Amino acid sequence: MKTKRSIIYYILGVIGVLILINIIADRFFFRLDFTEDGRYTLNKATKDILANLKETVTINAYFSEDMPPDIAKTKRDFKELLAEYASRSKGKIVYEFINPNKDEEMERKANQAGVQPVVINVRDKDQVKQQKAYLGAVVQMGEQSDVIPFMQPGSAMEYALSSSLKKISVKDKPRIGFLQGHGEPPINQFQQAMAALNVLYGVYPVTLTDTANNLDKFSTVAIIAPKDSFSAGHLKQLDNFLANGKRLFIALNRVKGDFSTATGSPVNTGLETWLAEKGVIVENLFIVDANCGNVGVTQQQGMFSYQTNVRFPYLPVITSFADHPVTKGLEAVLLPFASPMAYTGKNNAVTFTPIAKTSKKTGTQPANTMFDIRKQWTDRDFPMTGQIVAGILSGKIIGNNESKIVIVSDGDFAVNGEGRQAMQQQPDNISLFVNSIDWLSDDTGLIDLRTKGVTSRPLDQVEEGTKMLLKWLNFLLPIILIILFGIVRFQRNRSLRNKRMEEGYV
């Protein structure tokens, strides 16, 4: 009887512990994160945003059900993220998952909210069919709302969600000026960058005049790819802007490559001389790098023509970055027709910090050059190493106030263009630009979130021996583990059989 009572007490105790664990788990969200970049751990910026919420935020997540594993994982990850947001916000985050594929009314509701479906391939009974899938959310606080139209599988979910929360809760946005009047591309040619900048800032074009200072209303001004000359009066206004403790972002072309004529030429605007007076020299040379992008070349084979990709060292891919908020999380930035940069200043009140460099195999070519796309490049063409392509000048650059300038020696790396000439830039190109503006203007911590997650881990940059080792390890390791498990189990069973055969075994 005592044994039976003990068993009952034991079962009741286990049930009580399980109930207690469920109650605690419901009140306090907790998970362990062993990922390299901590993608499942909330950033300090997110925690600050959640702590400062004044009103309840309702999140309607429109996610389809019965989807392939990668899509289903996106929904599961987003649901876990929302649970942690709700826990951290002390009830200020309320969320609901809605399946738009359930019926036409739900689908209409999702479309009206701004969440549009994407078409995915689904395998069903050895056949591939196309199906509509919804992976979006609407974030609403009072009368303010923001739409996350599509949650890309594997993307930085925390950045998308925290940006939406920040967007609907910030009232007075800092003003960012995009300088115009010297051949700079207009704001509408920065579609990718604007999508990120408009979350936290008011972005406006600004022009300089010799009679009035139009820069005072901005905390940061961006000067990107100017083509025409700066007058002495305009350069003086930039000096006054820095003397007031303001900040500049400068993406400067010192050389220009023209694919239509396969020629290069120098670019002079006077801005390079203004920078040189402050100790930053951007040379009118082309950087060539063994780690580079490709260009399409049309080749003829008899009556047929076809296009192949050929590496083009004038398009360096930058993978060497300093440990700095501007470059944190970046892995690969493409800088077409970049130039080498150096610092020669001797002002002790000013520091220059290189934040991006070329690879260990790099070189330079003169500005006036002819491009030979079919040239066979060798190691002799890359005698240099680690040329600076981006840096930060900070300190008392002009006057007694601290100011900052982020300088990139390529003006077109974040420009999308317009019309038929528009092109999609690499995510890290946009992150470098937007991170720079964030760091110069309002370091909210969202810099860390934008680049959270692996963006580029190309196998073609891994040595052949390493690639072969990874392939064979991937193939053989499961087999070896199964064999080892079988051997261990066989030995254990044989040892047990031998013991049973021994005299006196009970």
Contact 389, 316 (CB under 8 A): yes
Helices (H), 325-407: none
Instruction: Report pLDDT digits (tens) over 138-158.
Output: 999 988 888 988 887 666 788
> Could you tell me what percent of the chain has a pLDDT over 70?
85
Q: Is residue 297 domain-shared with residue 354, that is, in the same domain? A: yes
CATH number, domain containing residue 87: 3.40.30.10
pLDDT at 377: 93
Q: Is residue 124 domain-shared with residue 200, that is, in the same domain? A: no
Q: State the total domains in the chain.
A: 3
pLDDT at 283: 96
Structural domain containing residue 481: 464-496
CA 247 to chain centre: 23
Query: d(Cα 494, Cα 500) in Å, to the nearest integer?
Result: 10
CATH number, domain containing residue 209: 3.40.50.880
Domain boundary among 123, 150, 168: 168
Q: Is residue 433 domain-shared with residue 343, that is, in the same domain? A: yes
Per the domain annotation, does 332 fall within a domain?
yes
Per the domain annotation, does 99 fall within a domain?
yes
Q: Is residue 100 domain-shared with residue 194, that is, in the same domain? A: no
Per the domain annotation, does 8 fall within a domain?
no
Q: What is the value of pTM for the model shown?
A: 0.72
Domain boundary among 133, 168, 203: 168
- Confidence tier at 244 by pLDDT (50, 70, 90): very high
Contact 229, 271 (CB under 8 A): no
Per the domain annotation, does 22 fall within a domain?
no
pLDDT at 1: 46
Per the domain annotation, does 505 fall within a domain?
no
358: three-class secondary structure by DSSP:
coil
CA angle, residues 226, 232, 235, in degrees to nearest 5: 55
Measured N-to-C along each axis, helices 44-51 and 157-169 cross at an angle, to the nearest 10 degrees, of 30
68, 256, 289, 298, 420 from 262: Cα distances, Å = 47, 11, 18, 14, 21
Tell me: pLDDT of 56 over 50: yes
Domain boundary among 119, 138, 168: 168
Q: Is residue 196 domain-shared with residue 154, that is, in the same domain? A: no
Query: d(Cα 22, Cα 16) in Å, to the nearest integer?
Result: 10
69: three-class secondary structure by DSSP:
helix
Give the lowest-confidence range in 120-134, 274-288, 389-403. Answer: 120-134
Contact 437, 176 (CB under 8 A): yes
Give the lowest-confidence range in 159-168, 323-332, 422-431. Answer: 159-168
Q: Is residue 316 domain-shared with residue 341, that is, in the same domain? A: yes
Q: Is residue 104 domain-shared with residue 185, that is, in the same domain? A: no
Measured N-to-C along each axis, helices 69-88 and 157-169 cross at an angle, to the nearest 10 degrees, of 40
Measured N-to-C along each axis, helices 44-51 and 69-88 cross at an angle, to the nearest 10 degrees, of 50
pLDDT at 237: 93
- Confidence tier at 490 by pLDDT (50, 70, 90): confident
Instruction: Report pLDDT digits (tens) over 249-281.
Output: 999 999 999 988 989 999 999 999 999 999 999
pLDDT at 7: 73
Per the domain annotation, does 18 fall within a domain?
no
Q: Is residue 306 domain-shared with residue 355, that is, in the same domain? A: yes
Beta bridge partners of 395: 350, 403
Per the domain annotation, does 501 fall within a domain?
no
Helices (H), 316-445: 427-441
Structure tokens that stand for 284 in this block: 């009118």
Query: d(Cα 438, Cα 445) in Å, to the nearest integer?
Result: 9
Query: d(Cα 160, Cα 49) in Å, to the nearest integer?
Result: 13
pLDDT at 174: 85
Q: Is residue 260 domain-shared with residue 361, that is, in the same domain? A: yes
Q: Is residue 358 domain-shared with residue 481, that is, in the same domain? A: no
Q: Is residue 88 domain-shared with residue 210, that is, in the same domain? A: no
Q: Is residue 204 domain-shared with residue 259, that is, in the same domain? A: yes
- Confidence tier at 454 by pLDDT (50, 70, 90): very low
Residues with Cβ < 8 Å from 381, sequence gap 6 or more? 288, 313, 363
- Confidence tier at 117 by pLDDT (50, 70, 90): confident
Per the domain annotation, does 241 fall within a domain?
yes
Query: d(Cα 311, Cα 315) in Å, to the nearest integer?
Result: 9
Instruction: Report pLDDT digits (tens) over 339-376.
Output: 999 999 888 999 999 999 999 999 999 999 999 888 89
Residue count of the chain, please give it.
Answer: 506
